[in-house]
Structure 1
Amino acid sequence: MTTSETADTAPDHDPAVIEALLEAAVTRLRTVGALRSEEVERAVRAVPRHAFAPEFPLEEVYDPRAVLITRRAEGGGATSSVSAMWVHALMLERARLAPGMRVLEVGGGGYNAALIAELVGPAGSVTSIDIDPVVTGRARTFLADTGYGGRVGVVVGDGGHGHPEGAPYDRVIVTVAATDLPPAWTDQLVEGGRLVLPLGVGGYQRIYAFTASGGALLVGETGNHAGFVPMQGEGAPAPCRARLTDTVALVTGATPAPAPEALPGVFALPVHQEPAGVRIGGTESFSTLQMWMTGLPGFGLLTGNAEDFAHRPMARDGTPAVWDGATLAYLLCPEVPDAAGAYEFTACAHGPRAEEAAAALAGHVRVWDRDHRRGPGPRFLAHPGLPDSARVIRTRHTRLLALWDRTEADHGLDWKAYPRG
């Protein structure tokens, strides 16, 4: 069944089945901590999720973990989806919506916009913008069918430009994966407003909640990992992808990537290994380590599977690496032979400075283990005028500074010197 057909084929469902599945989903969302407030729970209960994804079975629609892919590109990649229920709940909780607020949603198929409409109430305003007219057409149909057509304005356009006609907004909620913070999103946000989005930093996508405060954007805490479809239009990601072998490539946001043509020859050199002396359980999260690594100069991700490396990668197609144009270092996670279910981070390197690079990478892991392993991860300051430093990550439109120490909230910066816009 095609996407265009599904908008006209909403099946009949047993209300008792829907009620039971919804009750189980809400209980699960409460248990995992994605759903916390009575306001968001009421919205989740009020909006019929199945009406926005009629082509999917109810059991899948109300599975809190299920992502419902509603549109794909010709090559098969997802271009639009109804996100998992836990993601919707988490982002709405972090948005801190209140009655009467004006909200811009960037990217959407209608369901999340309806949830927002419930939270801001009749006195609020919701505008949903998407670059794909098929997606917006589908959203309009479903919103009208569920009674939200008069409460949500649906616009076709490049969400990276925001929607100035409806600005300013109290909240901007982005439901597509971004790798940058376009100026329009902050320019159209009121002082004290919040920007909630899945942001890819160094290739690792997490949900962030930035607050416009004193001329800068601040995130209170790092969010959960997410897997949103990528932005289209001017904000579409365009990382450099340099091939090492037929199955291994380095993906980096460095512009330009230093000497990518040298990578195959360097990767073919003997590997030097440096165990970090830091172990991790098979089910333990290492997401803060991933974020800790992104601040390294020359950071990127290596694609490839276990058979492509000397040891087990940390994550499939997401091996953290550092490339300086001559030496390649990366982090693997081999199993510890004498400890079932335990793995040890091991730095590997190729090239003229292999021993030094591996030692530096292993040392970086040890610092994370000592200072940040059990912490919540960094906050980020974001502003295009942040001064260059080894810790600042540059994107097309802004610069990001990770604050790992909770006492360095201001980082010694005079925010009056960094006006918004």
Structure 2
Amino acid sequence: MPLLHEPDGAQVGLRLEDGPQPDIEALRTALTTDPAESWSGVTVGAEEATDGLDLFLASVADGWALLTAQRGAIQAGLIRPIVLTGTPALVDNDGASFAYRVLRKISGQERWEFGAVGHGPHATPVARQLTDLISRWDRNHRGGPGPHIELLPTSIPTTDLPPGRVVPKRHTHTVLTWDRRPSSDT
């Protein structure tokens, strides 16, 4: 996992699963830029599970990554992730900007709003991209059945695969399709 900030006790890492590797030096520089925030309007309760959102982001977002951090990086004000061991993040197409998911408490309530903090030359657009995906999940998939997952052998040409997000693996193609949740007003 590439480290964007290396001092012991204050390390910040960015783990990317697949796809082209971004410019690590550019991302290290991005981390030192002023952050840009975007807020989704999507809220969550203290005990409410968000694993459906995490799976949605991982399966639909190009440039999906996990941001990891040690406490020293947070105490220094470098970043403020939700989970130290892996907060959903996006690296934008230029490979020199990234955003990660954050929460802010709603005053007077036991609810928090999802947002994103972006860094780099395209900090604002990549933060908005992440909050747009969070809003899409909330609007179309939250509380729904989750994705339909098919495992198909690699002998099937990619042109013959069903529609959906294809995750190529050594022996299989994993195809994830997110159907819209049923409307509550029907």
Indicate yes or no: 2:139 matched with 1:375: no
* Structure whose CA Rg is larger: 1
Unaligned residue ranges in structure 1 (runs of 5+):
1-240, 408-421
8 Å CA contact 1:288, 1:377 repeated in 2: yes
Match among 287, 310, 321 for residue 89 of structure 2: 321
Larger % of strand: which?
2
The CA distance in 2 between the partners of 1:335 and 1:312, in whole Å, is 14
- Give the residue type in structure 1 aligned to 2:171: H
Aligned to 2:175: 401
Aligned residues: CA RMSD:
2.3
Question: Unpaired segments of 5 or more residues in structure 2?
Answer: 182-186
Report whether the alignment pairs 1:330 with 2:100.
yes
Distance change >3 Å, CA 312–CA 262, structure 1 → 2: closer
Structure 1 residues 404 and 264, CA, compared in 2 at 3 Å: closer, same or farther? same
In the alignment, is the contact (CA less than 8 A) between 1:329 and 1:348 conserved in 2? yes
Does structure 2 conserve the Cα–Cα contact (< 8 Å) formed by 1:311 and 1:333? Answer: no
Aligned to 1:165: none
Deviation at 1:310, TM superposition (A): 4.6
Q: Say whether the 8 Å CA contact 1:276–1:362 is kept in structure 2.
A: yes
Task: State whether structure 2 residue 131 is matched by structure 1 residue 362.
Answer: yes
* TM-score, normalised by the number of residues in structure 1: 0.36
AA of the residue aligned to 1:280? V
Structure with greater contact order relative to length (CA < 8 Å, sep ≥ 6) = 2
Residue 296, structure 1, aligned to residue 69, structure 2: no
| TM-score for the superposition, normalised by structure 2 | 0.78
Moved beyond 3 Å, runs of 4+: 308-312, 385-390
Match status 1:282 vs 2:56: no
Q: Whole-Å Cα distance in 2 between the matches of residues 399 and 309 of structure 1?
A: 38
Q: CA deviation at 1:330?
A: 1.4
Bigger helix share: 1
Q: Partners of 2:32 and 2:115 in 1: how far apart?
A: 19
Return the letter of the residue paired with 2:37. Answer: Q
Please state if 1:270 is matched with 2:34: yes
Equivalent pair of 1:327/1:352 in contact (CA under 8 Å): yes
For 1:326, the aligned partner's letter is A
- The number of residues matched between the two structures is 165
Any residues of structure 2 matched to 1:23-42 within 5 Å, and which?
none
